[in-house]
Structure 1
Amino acid sequence: MNPLQLIAFILLVEVVLYFLASSSPRIKDLLARIGIEPFPLGFLIKRRSGVSTLDRFVGSRSARAFFTLGIPVMVVSMILFYIFVYIVGIDFVAKYIRVASSGGEPPASPLVPIIPGLTITGWDIIYLLIAIGINVTIHELGHAIAAKAENKRLKSYGAGLLLFFPIAFVELEEEDALKSGGLVAGRILAGGVLMNMVIFAIASGAVLGIVYAAPAIGVSQGVIIEGVEEGSLAERSGISPGLLILSINNTRIGSLDDFLRFREHIVSNRSVYIEIEGIYPNGTKYSSTIYKPSNTTRLGIYLSVVPLIFGLSMGALVTVNEHGYARLYILEEAIKIFLWTAIIGLSLAIINAAPLFITDGGRFLDTVLPRKLSRPLQILTTIGFIIIFALSTINILS
């Protein structure tokens, strides 16, 4: 089952659940007893009992101290929203209007909507959904723990799906507690943003840890030849797909960057000798000095790279010994998941901190500013965000 088929299956399950619940009160009651509440294009798994698992945080001074950090994190995230979205967004809108009126190449969109099959493809769709699920759950858990630390009761909590996007929620028994202002409301409202930033830090640290600690355990970014052009210089030199390049001109190749340093010798219009050593998965070794004439600027090879996100890539992760090499696909996929988790964590923190009507940032602004100041600011911010997002979507779809 490919990612798009999996999404189609999820949507089918949602439609069937909603149809069954709508057509049969008995099925609706049965689903309600196990905590499932279907709605059009989604469902919630809701829990009203079992919240006692968070009771260990009731009145916790250390939890309150931790979530106090969320207030400056909320403010910084709000500033980042204006920097990333508005400073870049206003420039985008100006360029977009200019291009629309006089023609030319459209500017790059500052916001990229998530459209499976278009802006997100392949297994990145699944990694994205995993990252969203982790972040929205931890976000709401942050609100719940912060509320417990302030001795506030939880009415219910849960998670679910809206279309194919994971969602989560926390309902306080006393919603009016957030209107009291002060540190109590600030800590509860900022709890989600703080937890998203924590996830961003952990996931980013995991990626850096894997990349930089890998050599210590014998893992390197290998340059593997995925394909060889027929009749090319590489084919005539006996190079076959699957070759891991170990060195060029007696210089160790441990990453794509190492390989690209020798690219100027290959694409130059000079006659050069290129000494390549490598190994195949079965342990067969390759060593040859290739003569590249001045009228040839390509070896005729295609490299196997690991596509990450936003056009980034890295070399394949491999371990090498005298018996050959093994590619660590699981580690490569783990890096992708951590990267998506970090990006979604940062994005959710910034978007939730934005002073919009539907966000924690908007409610936070209501607690720290007079309503006559916070409401106009939220209106202007919301209108601006909608314009930038709409034009970005149109720009990408066109």
Structure 2
Amino acid sequence: MDPIQIIILIMAIELALYLASNASPRVRDALSRIGLEPIPLGILIKRRSSGEALDRFRGSRSARVFFTLGIPVMAASMVIFYLFVYIVGIDFVARYIRASSYGGETPSPPLVPIIPGLTITGMDIVYLLIAIGVSVTLHELGHAIAAKAEHLRLKSYGAGLFLFMPLAFVELEEEEILRSRRLTAGRILSGGVLMNMVLFVIFAGAMILALMLAPLAGVSQGVIVDSIEKGSLADRSGISPGLLIQSINGTPIRSIEDFMRYRAYIASREPVYLDIRGIYPNGTRYSSIIYKPENITRLGIYLSLAPLGFGLSTGALVHVWGDGYSRLYWLEEILRIFLWISIVSISLAVINAAPLFITDGGKLLDTLLPRRLSKPLQIITTAGFILIFALSLANFIS
């Protein structure tokens, strides 16, 4: 089954359980006894407990010190959100309205909706679900640990699915939080944002570190020929798919950037000679001096890249030895997962820090500012965000 079929199956099971539990009290009681609670468009695995597993953090001074860091982190995330909304977002709305009123090409949206099967496909759907599951679970765990450190009670906790998206939740006594000291409320409400930022730093750092240290383990970002244009200069020179280009005119090619430096050289309207050397996976060596006349501006090769997601890619990760080379697909997939977790984590942190009606940032404003100030600010921010998202979605659909 492909990812889309799995998503459809999951949503069908959710709908069946919800309809069955509404139609039959016996089914509802049976599901409740095993901790399942069907909801519209999803299902929850709910535990009503004070969270004994987290009791080790009750009153923890080190936990309080750690989560105090969440307050400046949430403030910084809120600034990032406003910079995005009021610099990027408002500019997009203005250009979109101008293009709609007077004609012309609509601007590229600052937000691209994640729609499985359309904006993301294949294994990226699976990696997205993994990233959401990890990010949301750590976010809620941050709230729970911070609350335990402040001696507050957890009403319930659990996990589940909304449509096909994994979710986790922790129910706290919100009135108790709002009645707490501002510093206490700040630690608890910013705990999720802090955990997401920590997650972002860990996975983004691990991805960058892996790419930096890979050459020490004999792994490089290889330039591999994926396909050849029939009748092109490369085709006439005997280049075949699978060739790992190792040098051009004596200069080692260890990354896409190295190859791109020669692209302008190849595209020039001047006759040049190209001494291209490389190796195939089976160990066959390639070496040829190719003459490029002035009326040809391309070799006619397409490169095989390692897609990471969000339009980002890197050179194919390869390990070369005397008898050939092997492509490390497993390492490319790990880096892909790391990128998804990094992007989802920082996105969740910034959105939750924003003073919207349903976010931690909105609740924090309620504890710091009088209601006559916090509510108008949340209304303006929420309306602006919805407008930008709606126009981005409309632009994408059109």
- Normalising by structure 1, we get a TM-score of 0.97
Q: Distance in 2 between matches of 1:15 and 1:229?
A: 50
Alignment of 1:243-392 (within 5 A): 243-392=243-392
- Rounded to whole Å, the distance in 2 between the matches of 1:94 and 1:49 is 50
Distance in 1 of aligned mates of 2:324 and 2:226: 16
- Which deviates more from structure 2 when the two are superposed, residues 73-82 or residues 106-115? 106-115
What amino acid is aligned across from residue 258 of structure 2 in structure 1?
D
Moved more, 359-368 or 223-232: 223-232
Between the two proteins, the alignment pairs up a number of residues equal to 398
Which one-letter code corresponds to 2:335 in the other structure? I
Task: Report the Cα distance in structure 2 between the residues aligned to 1:24 and 1:83, rounded to whole angstroms.
Answer: 51
Task: Note if contact 1:181-1:368 (Cα within 8 Å) is conserved in structure 2.
Answer: no
Task: Report the counterpart of residue 10 of structure 1 in structure 2.
Answer: 10
Q: Percent identity?
A: 68
Looking at structure 1, the residues matched to 183 and 264 of structure 2 have their Cα atoms a distance apart, in angstroms, of 60
Q: Partners in 2 of 1:377 and 1:271 — Cα distance? A: 64
User: For residues 75-133 of structure 1, what are the alpha-carbon distances to aligned partners after superposition, in whole Å with 9 as ceiling and x for unaligned?
Assistant: 11111110012221111111111111101111121222222222222222221111111
CA contact (8 A) 1:35 1:47 kept: yes
Matches within 5 A, 1:64-213: 64-173=64-173, 175-213=175-213
Specify the SS of the correspondent of 1:261. Answer: helix
Provide the rounded CA distance (Å) in 2 between the counterparts of 1:110 and 1:263. Answer: 30
Say if 2:354 and 2:361, in contact at 8 Å, map to a contact too: yes
Secondary structure, in 3 states, of the residue corresponding to 1:130?
helix
Give the secondary structure class of the aligned counterpart of 1:160: strand
**Whole-Å separation in 2 of the counterparts to 1:37 and 1:310:** 35
Paired with 2:199 and 2:379, the residues of 1 have a C-alpha distance of 30
Query: Could you report, residue by residue, the CA deviation over 1:257-276 in whole angstroms, capped at 9, with x for unpaired residues?
Result: 10111112221222211111
Q: Report the Cα distance in structure 2 between the residues aligned to 1:275 and 1:26, rounded to whole angstroms.
A: 77
**Preserved contact between residue 356 and residue 382 of structure 1 (Cα < 8 Å):** yes
CA contact (8 A) 2:50 2:154 kept: no
AA of the residue aligned to 1:134: V
- The Cα of 1:284 is off from its aligned counterpart by 1.1
Q: Show CA shifts across 1:2-46 (max 9, x none).
A: 221221122122122223322332322222112111112110111
Which of 388-397 and 45-54 deviates more?
Answer: 45-54
C-alpha deviation, 1:50, in angstroms: 7.8
How far the C-alpha of 1:346 sits from its partner, in A, is 0.9
Q: Give the alignment's TM-score, normalised by structure 2.
A: 0.97
The answer to whether the aligner puts 1:238 opposite 2:238 as a matched pair is yes
Segment of structure 1 superposing worse, 44-53 or 33-42: 44-53
Partner residue in 2 for 1:228: 228
Say what the alpha-carbon RMSD is for the aligned residues.
Answer: 1.4
Secondary structure in 2 aligned to 1:121? Answer: coil
CA shift for structure 1 position 180 = 2.8
Deviation of 1:229 after TM superposition, in Å, equals 1.7
Question: How many angstroms does 1:57 deviate by?
Answer: 0.3
Pairs within 5 Å for 1:18-33: 18-33=18-33
For 2:220, give the aligned amino acid: S
Does the 8 Å contact 2:85/2:384 carry over to 1? no
**Misfit runs of 4+, over 3 Å:** none
Amino acid at match of 1:8: I
